[in-house]
A and B are shown apart, each in its own frame.
Chain A
Amino acid sequence: MADDFEIPELPTYLEIPEINEGIMDGDGPFKSAEEFQIQLGFPGKKLRIGRKLLLIKWANLNLSIVLFKFFGCLCKMWRLY
C-alpha cells in the first residue's frame, strides 16, 4: 500500500480549515468482488441505473394512466360528462 500522502500538521485547537474543493474526491475504498456481494444477497454487479430508473418512471406512468382511467369511470358513473 502506498503511503506517500500528506500527513496534516497539528494546528492550534481547533482551527477551521480553508476550503479545499474536491481534495478527497478520489479517495474511495476498494469495491467488493461479486462473490462477496452475492453471499449477502446483493446483485454482485453494478446495475444500469438509467434503465432501472426508466422502469420505475414507466411504472409510475402506468399507475397514472390507471388512476386517470379510474377517475374517468367514476365521472361516467356520476354522469359528469
Chain B
Amino acid sequence: MDACVKCGACTDKCHYFLGSSDPKNMPVARQDLFRSVYRRHFTFAGKYFPKLVGAKDLNDEMLDDWYNYFHQCSQCRRCSVFCPYGIDTAEISMAAREVLDTVGIGQKYCNQILGKAITIGNNLGLPEPALRDTLLDLEEEIEEETGVAVKYPLDQKGSEILLITPSADFFAEPHIDGLIGYGKVFHQDGVRWTMSSYAAEGANFGMFIGSYDIMRKAALRIRKAALDLEVSRVMVGECGHAWRVAYSFWNTLTGVGAGASDEFGIKLQKQLDSRYPQPQHIIEYTYDLIQRGKLEFDKSKNDHRVVTFHDSCNVARATNMGGIPNGQFILPREVIKAVCNNYVDMERSTIMESTFCCGGGGGILTDDLMEIRIKGAMPRMQALKEVEKSNAVDTLVAICAICKSQFSKVLPKFNFEPDMIVSAHQLVSEAIIMDKPEISDSEIEADTAKIKEETKETETSK
C-alpha cells in the first residue's frame, strides 16, 4: 500500500475515470480510500499524526465512499499494467469489498448470485430437470438444422471431459450459440464429454467480493462433480473470470492443477490425466484440434462478417493459454482466423495486455449500476467505432460471458447493433463442416424391408 509515489501513471488508464471524469475513479484515488484507513490504524505516523499523513478514520462516511467507489471498479487490472510499482487495484478493491461484507454491507447482486451458486450449483438457480430439458431442446434444434445428432450430455459418469461453463451459456443469446459450438467441436473430435448438474457454473463471484472461503465453497462443487463423474479432464468454457479462477486459484481451491495437499485434492490429481493441461480452456482444446487438422471449416460461411476481437480483462491480465508466452492473446485470434476470412484488430493500445474492460466486469453487471456501466464502456466503444469506420467491422467477438451480456446492453447506446457481439465458438459453429452419419447398404436394405412390411400390414388391415 505504501509503495505508491503518486506518479499519476494510472490516472488516465481506468475506463471508469475516462468515462465518468470523477477523480475518485482514478485508480490512485480509489486506492487512497483504502490507504488512508490503513495508515490511520496500522502506521505510527497515522496513529499519532493522522492529518500530516492523510490518514482517515473508518467511519460511516468513509464506508459509504468505499461502497460506491469500490463498486465502480471492475477489477480489470489495466491500471496495474501501467503502475511502475505494480500496485494491483483489483486486489485492493477485492479486499475493500471483503471488509464491507464483513461489517454487514454486502452488495445485493453478488450476494444473491453466490447464494444460488453454492446451494443449487449455478448462478441462475436452474434445477437439474430444467437444465436437462434445455439441453434436450438444444440437441433437437441442432439435429433439425444440421442433420447431425450432436449430444449435450449431463451427468454422464465415466466421460473423459467435464465441461464447466458459465450458466449463461444454457439459455441466453449470444451465449448459447457458443455452447452449440462447443458441442459440435466435441462431436467432431469424437470425445466422451459431459456437463454436471451439481456444478453447472463456471463463474465464481467469490473472487469479486474478495472472499477466498466463498470462492472455495463454489469451486469445491466442481471438484466433487469431477470425482463423482470420474472424468480425466476438466475443461472451462468461454468465461473470463471463470478462467482466471480456474487458472490461478483452482490448484489450491480444489486440487485441479498443481499444489493440492488435502485428501480429495490429491485423489483428484491422481484421477486427472497428466498428459493434458488441467484445467484446460475450450479455446486451447479447439486450437489444438485445428493444429492437428482434426477439424474442417468452410470459412466462407462467415464471409458476411468483418470481425474484431475484444480481449477480456481477466483472460488477458491474469491467465495464459497454450503454455506459450502471450498465448492468451494468440490462441483466440488463431481460432477466429481459422474460421473466418475477414479479421481486423482494434487500436493496439486498447487490446491484449492493454485491453479495456467491457465496463460490466467485477460483479457490477447489474441494472442498478447501468450509468457507470455505460460510462465505463466508452473507451472500448470508441476503439470499436474506429474499426467500424476504417474496416467496416460488424462483429465483435468475446470469450467472456460478462462481456457478452454487457455489450448486448451497451452497444445500442453507442449506435451499434446489439447482436454484433458473438462468442468465438459461434463463429466456429457456423463454419465447421460436420460429418453426416454414413448409412450402410445393410441399413438401407433393413429400412426398405421395414417400410414394405408396414405397407403390407396397412393393406391387409384395409
Contact = CB atoms under 8 A, between A and B. Distances in A.
Nearest to A39: B115
Given A28-B67, A36-B115, A40-B101, A11 B382 contact: yes
Interface string B332-360: 00000000000000010100000000000
Contacts of B24: 22, 24-25
A29 B22 contact: no
The dominant DSSP class at the B interface is helix
Interface string B255-285: 0000000000000000000000000000000
Interface in A5-38: 5, 7-8, 10-11, 13-33, 36-37
A14 B385 CA distance: 12
Given A16-B18, A37-B111, A25 B106 contact: no
Interface residues on A, range: 35 or more
Contacts of A28: 64, 67-68, 71
Contacts of B145: none
B391 interface: no
A30 B213 contact: no
A33 B108 contact: yes
16 contacts: A1-B370, A5-B370, A5-B371, A13-B347, A20-B23, A24-B372, A29-B109, A32-B111, A32-B112, A36-B106, A40-B211, A41-B213, A44-B104, A45-B104, A49-B59, A53-B57
A8 B25 CA distance: 16
A46 interface: yes
B387 to A, nearest CB: 11
A8 B375 contact: yes
A42 interface: yes
- Identify which of A1, A44, A46 gathers the most chain B CB atoms within 10 Å of its CB: A46
A27 B371 contact: yes
A15 B453 CA distance: 78
- Identify which of A7, A14, A24, A44 gathers the most chain B CB atoms within 10 Å of its CB: A24
Given A19-B21, A31-B105, A1 B368 contact: yes
Contacts of A22: 22, 24
A43 interface: yes
A27 B183 CA distance: 41
Contacts of A42: 101-102, 104, 106, 111
Contacts of A27: 68, 72, 369, 371-372
A77 interface: no
Interface string B39-71: 001000000000000000111100110011101
The dominant DSSP class at the A interface is loop
A19 B22 CA distance: 6
A10 B385 contact: yes
Interface string B198-213: 0000000000000101
B17 interface: yes
A37 B106 contact: yes
A71 to B, nearest CB: 19
B378 interface: yes
B7 interface: no
- Give 5 closest A-B pairs by Cβ, nearest first: A17-B21, A32-B106, A32-B111, A20-B21, A43-B104
- Identify which of B58, B67, B106, B378 gathers the most chain A CB atoms within 10 Å of its CB: B106
A10 B382 contact: yes
Contacts of B72: 24, 27
Contacts of A1: 367-368, 370
